[in-house]
Amino acid sequence: MADNSTSDDEEKGVFGRLFPLVAVLMAGGILGAMGAWPFSTLAEGAKASITLVQEQMRERPAILGPIAYEGEGLVASNPAKMQPGNTLVQGIFSDGAQVRMLDPQGEELHRWTADFFAIWPDAADIFPATRVPQSELHYFIQGMEPLGDGSIILNFGQLGAARIDACSRTVWRSDRPTHHSVARTADGNFLIPGVIAVEDTPAQYLPTGMSAADITAMIGDSMSKDYNNSALLVDADGKVLKEFSLVKAVYDAGLDHALYASLTDVAADPVHLNDIEEVTPELAAKIEGVEAGDWLVSLREMHMLAIIDADDGHLKWHQQGPWVRQHDPDILPDGTIEVYDNRAQNVGPHVTGSRILHFDPATGETRTVVPVGEADRFNSFIMGTHQTLPNGNRLIAESMAGRAFEVTPAGEVVWDYRQTYDDEAAALFADARRIPADFFGKDALTCTN
pLDDT of residue 447: 86
Nearest to 181 by CA among 400, 359, 433: 433
Q: Tell me: the pLDDT tens digits for 335-388?
A: 999 999 999 888 888 888 999 999 999 999 999 999 999 999 999 999 999 999
Q: Which pLDDT value is given to residue 57?
A: 56
Contact indicator for 420, 68 with CB cutoff of 8 Å: no
Distance CA 357, CA 339 (A): 5
CATH code (residue 419): 2.120.10.30
Residue 24 sits in the same domain as residue 125: no
pLDDT at 351: 86
Q: Give residue 49's pLDDT.
A: 42
Percent helix, percent strand, percent coil in the chain, to nearest 5: 20, 30, 45
Model confidence at 441: pLDDT above 80 = yes
Residues above pLDDT 90, as percent of the chain = 81
Residue 42 predicted with pLDDT over 60: no
Count the helices and strands in the chain (H runs, E runs): 8, 25
pLDDT score recorded for residue 449:
64
The rounded distance, in Å, linking the Cα atoms of 146 and 64 is 25
Strand pairing of 141-146 and 108-113?
unpaired
The model's confidence at residue 25, banded by pLDDT at 50, 70 and 90, is very low
Summarize pLDDT for 149-164 with one digit per residue, the tens: 999 999 999 999 999 9
- Same structural domain, 27 and 129: no
Q: Are residue 99 and residue 190 in the same domain, yes or no?
A: yes
Nearby residues of 198 by Cβ (< 8 Å), 6 or more positions away:
206, 212, 215, 216, 219, 226, 227, 228
pLDDT value of position 346 = 84
Does a structural domain hold residue 405?
A: yes
Summary mean pLDDT of the chain: 90
Q: Is residue 382 located within the same domain as residue 297?
A: yes
> Is 445 domain-assigned?
no
Would residue 426 count as lying in a domain? yes
Are 43 and 145 in the same domain? no
Q: How many domains does the chain have?
A: 2
pLDDT in tens, 290-344: 999 999 999 999 999 999 999 999 999 999 999 999 999 999 999 999 999 999 8
Amino acid at 149: D
Q: State residue 442's pLDDT score.
A: 87
7 and 114 fall within a common domain: no
- For residues 183-190, give the mean pLDDT: 97
Which of 193, 220, 204, 208 shows the shortest CA–CA distance to 129? Answer: 220
Q: How far apart are the C-alpha atoms of 130 and 223, rounded to whole Å? A: 9
Question: Helix (H, G, I), strand (E, B), or coil: what is residue 142?
Answer: strand
Average pLDDT over residues 411-427: 98
Whether residue 265 is contained in a domain is answered as yes
**Residue 427 structural domain:** 65-435
Q: What is the pLDDT of residue 225?
A: 86
Rounded Cα gap, residues 296 and 196, in angstroms: 19
User: Of 57, 82, 105, which one is at a domain's C-terminal end?
Assistant: 57
Mean pLDDT of 171-196: 97
In a domain, 237, yes or no: yes
Residue 24 has pLDDT above 80, yes or no: no
Least confident of 47-61, 99-113, 263-277, 411-425: 47-61
238 in the same domain as 148 = yes
Does residue 449 fall inside a structural domain? no
Both 53 and 87 in one domain: the answer is no
For residue 337, count other CB atoms closer than 10 A to its CB. 20
Q: Which residues of 158-191 are buried (b: 16+ CB within 10 A; e: fewer)?
A: bbbbbbbbbebeebbbbebbbbbbbbebeeebbb
C-beta of residue 140 within 8 angstroms of C-beta of residue 97: yes
Q: What is the DSSP string of 24-52?
A: HHHHHHHHHHTT-TTGGGGHHHHHHHHHH
- The length of the chain in residues reads 449
Residue where a domain stops, chosen among 21, 41, 57: 57
Q: What is the structure's pLDDT at 223?
A: 76
The answer to whether 334 touches 282, Cβ cutoff 8 Å, is yes
Whole-model pTM: value is: 0.87
CA angle 247, 249, 254 (to 5 degrees): 100
With 60 as the cut, is the pLDDT of residue 55 above it? Answer: no
**Mean pLDDT value of segment 429-437:** 98
Has residue 254 got a pLDDT over 90?
A: yes
Tell me what pLDDT residue 283 has. 98
Sheet with strand 108-113: strands edge to edge = 108-113, 96-102, 86-93, 428-435
* Residue at 442 is within a domain: no
Phi–psi pair at 426, nearest 5 degrees: -80, 155
Backbone angles phi, psi at 413, to 5 degrees: -80, 120
The better pLDDT of the pair 39, 448 is held by 448
- Whether residues 25 and 133 share a domain: the answer is no
Mean pLDDT of 256-265: 95
Does the pLDDT at position 7 exceed 60?
Answer: no
Residue 447 domain flag: no
Both 8 and 46 in a single domain?
yes
Decide if 324 contacts 341 (C-beta within 8 A). yes
The rounded distance, in Å, linking the Cα atoms of 140 and 443 is 29
Please tell me whether residues 220 and 256 are part of one structural domain: yes
The torsion region of residue 353 among left (phi > 0), alpha (psi -120 to 50) and beta comes to: left
Q: Are residues 25 and 153 in the same domain?
A: no
